[in-house]
Amino acid sequence: MTTANPAVDPKAVEAQLLAFLTERIKAPVEPGDDLFRAGLVSSMFAMQLVVHLEDTYDIEIVGPELTLDHFRSVDAMTALVLRLSGKNDG
């Protein structure tokens, strides 16, 4: 028996990610917004998002999952977290 992980609830993940991004970017974010502009700073932030998702949801983002498109929006990140959490649950 395992404890239910709130991370696998799509609404909860979406709300957590929106709160995280709003704090970091210091601007309102919508779930479908494209978070990146071209340039180096945004690429550094992309890596921070990878680390954040891995630490927060106890997942490992490797191989073909490690692509910028999966971090482009809150929608895309939520889908990634759900997919990888599902795999973790076996």
Partner 1 sequence: MTDHTEHRLAVIGAGVMGTNITALATGHGVPVVLVDVDDEKLAAARLTVRQKLKHAQLMGVLPEGRGRGELVTTTTLADVAEATTVIEAVTEVTEVKNKVLTEVGGLVAPGTLVISNTSCIPVDEMATWVPRGDELVGVHFMNPAYLIEMVEVIRGTGTSDATMERVTALLSVLGREGLVVNDAPGFVINRLLHPLINRAAMLVQEGVASAEVVDGLLEGCLGHSTGPLRTADLIGVDNLADSLVVLHERTGDPECAPCDLMLQLVRDGHHGRKTGRGFFDYRKAAE
Give residues in contact with partner 1 (CB under 8 A): 23-26, 39-41, 43-48, 50, 62, 66-68, 71
Query: Minimal distance in Å, beta carbon 76 to partner 1?
Result: 13
Task: Go through 11-40 and write b for each residue having 16 or more CB atoms within 10 A of its CB, e for each that does not.
Answer: eebbebbbebbeeeeeeebeeebebbeeee
Query: Minimal distance in Å, beta carbon 71 to partner 1?
Result: 8
Nearer to partner 1, 69 or 89 (CB): 69
Closest CA to 17 of 82, 88, 90, 67: 82
Nearer to partner 1, 67 or 88 (CB): 67
